[in-house]
Amino acid sequence: MGRLIAFIILLIPGIMAAYGIKLMRDSVFNILLEPYPFIWLQFVLGLIFTVLGVGFFAGFLLNRDRKKGTVAKRFQK
C-alpha cells in the first residue's frame, strides 16, 4: 500500500511536468490554448510547471537516497 501511495505522489508532479513541456512546445509553435490570453504567459507557466514537477521528483529521490545513505558526501546533511 505504501508503494502505491508513493507512486501516486510521484505521478502527479510527473503529469504536471509533462503538461508544462506541452505548454512550452505549443508556445514555440505559436499555438495559443484557450485559458491563456498571451503566448508568453503560456510559455512562462509551462516553464514553471516543468521546473516544479522535475524539482519535486528530484527532491523526492534525493531525500530517499539520503535515508539509504547512497548519496555523495557533498549531498549529505
Using a 10 angstrom Cβ sphere, with 0-12 exposed, 13-18 middle and 19 or more buried, the burial of residue 10 is middle
Region 35-41: mean pLDDT is 97
- Residue 37 phi/psi, 5-degree rounding, is -80, -25
Choice between 9 and 47, residue whose per-residue pLDDT is larger? 47
- The answer to whether 50 and 20 have CB atoms below 8 angstroms apart is yes
Please check the confidence at residue 77 and state whether its pLDDT lies above 90.
no
In the structure, what pLDDT confidence band is assigned to residue 9 with cuts at 50, 70 and 90?
Answer: confident
The cell numbers describing 69, all together, are: 545513505
Look at residue 24 in the predicted model and tell me its pLDDT.
98
**Rounded Cα gap, residues 24 and 17, in angstroms:** 11
Q: Which amino acid is at 35?
A: P
